[in-house]
Structure 1
Amino acid sequence: MSRAVETIALALPHTGGWDFSDYPYGLEPLTLPQPGEPYAARGSVEQSDTQEICRRLQAAAHAGFEIPEPPVGHTMERLFWFRWITGHQVSFIIWRLLADALARLPSASGSERAALSTAITEFVRGYCGMLLYTGSSDRAVYNGVIRPSMYRLHSTFSGTWALDYPPVRSLFRGRKTPAVVESEVEALTREVRLSNQIHFGVASKLVTGGRSLLQRSITERDTAQPRMWGEVFDCYFLTQRGVVSAPEMSAQLLRRQKALAIDLRSNGLYPVPADGEIPRELRRPEVTACEEDLAASLFRIARLAVGLPATDRPRTVAR
C-alpha cells in the first residue's frame, strides 16, 4: 500500500457524512498484524484520539447520521458486495480483539478478569451481528456474484484459510469455555451457541445445500493450511499484513463501524425482501434481538477497542 493510501486508510473518520472510500459503499484496504505478532509501540494515531472520535461518532449516531446520496450506478449488487467485503474485515478485527482478550485472560485477576470476560462476550456478540450483516444479501446476489467470485480466485476457496480464525476457533466450536468469571459463563455460552445458529441459518438462506464455506470447517478435522492459502484469503478480502499500532487498528475499525452504521440507517439490515422462506434458525427471538442490537453492538465493540468500557449491553434472549 502506498504511503498516501495508508495515511487515509489508517486515519480516524470524521463525524459528518460518508468518508469511507471514494464514494458510498466503496471499499478500503485493511492492514492487520500477523496473528500472534505484537502491535507497533507507536503509530500515526493516539489512543486518546480514538476515544474522542468514538464518543463523537456515538453522539452523531444518536442524532442521526446524514444519509448519503447513492453514487452513480448504485445497485443492490454493489451494496451487498460492500457488506460482504467490509463486514468480513470487521469480523477479522473482532477475531483479533477476541484473541487478544483470550490470551490475557489466564493471567488476569480481579477487575481485569471481569472486564476481559465482559469484552469476550461482547466480541462474540459482535461477530453474531457481522454474520447477519455479511449474510444479508438475497440468494440471487450471493449465488450470482459473491460465491462465484471466490471460486474464480481459487476453486477450493475456504473459510478455513482465514489467518485470524485459528486463535478463536476453539471458542466458536464450543470445545471449552474460557476461564471467564462465573457471572459471564452463561451469557458467553449463549452467544457462542447463537453464532453457530446464525451461521447455519444464513447458509440455509443463501447456499444451495445449506452449507457455507466456513461452516464446513466446523465438522471437518483440523489440518495445517499452507501459508499461501491464507494470503489468497487476505487478498480476496483486501487485507494485508503489516506493522500497525493498536490505535491504528482501532481507527480502521472506527472507519468501518461508521460506514456500517450509516448503511444500516440508510438501508436497513434487509434492503430487499427475502427471495425464499426464512430458515427457522433465523426466525427465533434471540436472532431478532441480535438484528435489532447490531448497530449498538458495533459501538460497544468500538468502545472496547479504544479502551473505553462497554455500556448498556443487552443479553441474548434466553431459550
Structure 2
Amino acid sequence: MSAPACVPAWGHTWVDLPVLRLPMPEAELIPCADRCFQIPIVINAPEDPVQRAVHRWFLGHHGAFLVWKFLSDSLDRLIREPDSQLVRLTALGYDAYSVMLAYSGSCSREVYEDVIRPMMVTFDPAFSGRWARDYEPLPGLLRRARTALGPAAAAPLSSASKANLVAHKEVMRRLVPGGPSLLRESGRTSAPTTEAERARFDEFFLVSRECVCVSRYQAHRTAILSAIGHDLAKHPLSPEYGETLRTFATRL
C-alpha cells in the first residue's frame, strides 16, 4: 500500500506524486511515537524526458516546501538562541534550497514555455511564487537572525543566502529570459497576496494543510530527498548537488 496520490490531468501530462501533507507555517508538528507512520511513500521518476521535467518541477517544489519549513524553524531558533553549529546547518539549508531551485527548473526553455508555464496559466493566469505561504516569512527571519548574530557569526548564513538568490535568478534568466512573470502580465503585482492565492499555490503543488505528526512528516521528507537524490544520480545536473542533499539529509 502506498501513500495517497493526487493525479490531476493538466495539459497533456500527468503528475503522479503523493500529496505533501504539511501544517500551516505557524503550526507545530504533532509529537508521536517513533515510526508510528508505517505506510511506504513511493516516488518514481518517469523515463519520458518531458514527463520527467514536469515531475521535477513538482517534486523540486515539494523539496522546497520542506526546506522552507526547516529554514523558518532554524532562523527562528537563531534569533532566540545564537549558535554557530546551527548557523552552519541553516546555511546548508540555503544550499539545499539552491539545489531544489536548480532541480525543479532543470527543464529546457522549450519545455517550460510549451508545457509547464501553460499548466500554471491554466490553473491561474496570475500564478506566482509570491503566493508561497511558507516562504513569505523567510526574508524577515533572515534579516533578524543576521542582526542577532552579528556580521562575523552570520557570515556563512549570509554567503549561502546570497548564493541562493543568485541560483534563483539564474533559473529565472534561463527559463524566462527578459519576459514578464505571470503575475506581472496579469496586472496584479500591486495587490497584496490573499489567503485564497496562498491556498491556490498549495493546491497546484499538491500540498494539503492539515495536522501532521512528526513521524509522517519525517517519512515524507526522507522519501522526497531520497527520490531527488536518486534522480540526480541517474540524470546528473551538477556533481555537488547530490552531495549537498546527502549532507543536508544526514544532519537533519
TM-score tier by shorter-chain length is: 0.7 to 0.9
CA-atom RMSD, angstroms?
A: 3.0
Residue 163 of structure 1 pairs with residue 168 of structure 2: no
CA deviations 1:196-238 (Å, max 9, x no partner) are: 112111111111425656999xxx77x6422111111111101
How far, CA to CA, are the matches of 2:180 and 2:157 in structure 1? 25
Q: From the superposition, tell whether residues 98 and 248 of structure 1 become closer, same or farther in structure 2 (CA, over 3 Å).
A: same
* Alignment counterpart, residue 89 of structure 1, candidates 56, 62, 76: 62
In structure 2, the residue matched to 1:53 is none
**How far does residue 183 in structure 1 lie from its aligned partner after superposition?**
5.4
- Within-5 A mapping of 1:46-125: 74-108=47-81, 113-125=83-95
Among 155, 160, 164, the residue aligned to 1:191: 160
State the alpha-carbon separation in 2 of the partners of residues 258 and 159 from structure 1: 25
Would the aligned equivalents of 1:114 and 1:180 in 2 still touch at CA under 8 Å?
Answer: no
TM-score (norm 2): 0.81
Structure 1 residues 214 and 170, CA, compared in 2 at 3 Å: closer, same or farther? Answer: farther
What code does the residue aligned with 2:17 have?
Answer: L
Listed one character per residue, the Cα deviations across residues 28-58 of structure 1 (whole Å, up to 9, x for unaligned) are 21011001111112167369x9xxxxxxxxx
1:262 aligns with 2:230: yes
Aligned to 2:169: 200
Q: Give the counterpart of 1:300 among 233, 240, 247.
A: 247
Quote the Cα distance in structure 2 between the aligned partners of 1:43 and 1:181: 39
Shift in Å at residue 182 of structure 1?
6.1
Q: Describe the shift of the 1:266–1:41 C-alpha distance in structure 2 as closer, same or farther (beyond 3 A).
A: same
Aligned mates of 1:244, 1:33 — CA distance in 2:
6
1:26 deviates by 4.0
What are structure 2's unaligned runs of at least 5 residues?
6-14, 39-43
**TM-score for the superposition, normalised by structure 1:** 0.65
Q: Distance in 2 between matches of 1:36 and 1:304?
A: 23
- Report the AA paired with residue 221 of structure 2: L
Q: Given residue 249 of structure 2, which amino acid in structure 1 is its aligned partner?
A: A
Q: What aligned pairs does 1:169-248 form with structure 2 within 5 A after superposition?
A: 169-170=139-140, 177-180=146-149, 184-210=153-179, 224-248=192-216
Partners in 2 of 1:185 and 1:228 — Cα distance?
Answer: 36
**Secondary structure of the structure 2 residue equivalent to 1:179:** helix
Count residues with an aligned counterpart: 235
Distance 1:192 1:214 in 2: 24
Q: Give the deviation of 1:256 after TM superposition.
A: 1.0
Task: Extract unaligned runs of 5+ from structure 1.
Answer: 10-24, 50-67, 270-290, 306-319
Distance 1:176 1:211, change over 3 A: farther
Change (3 A) 1:215 1:134: farther
Distance 1:134 1:249 in 2: 21
Q: CA-to-partner distance for each residue in 1:53-86, whole Å, 9 max, x for gaps?
A: xxxxxxxxxxxxxxx8x86xx4211111111000
3-state SS of paired residue (1:177): helix
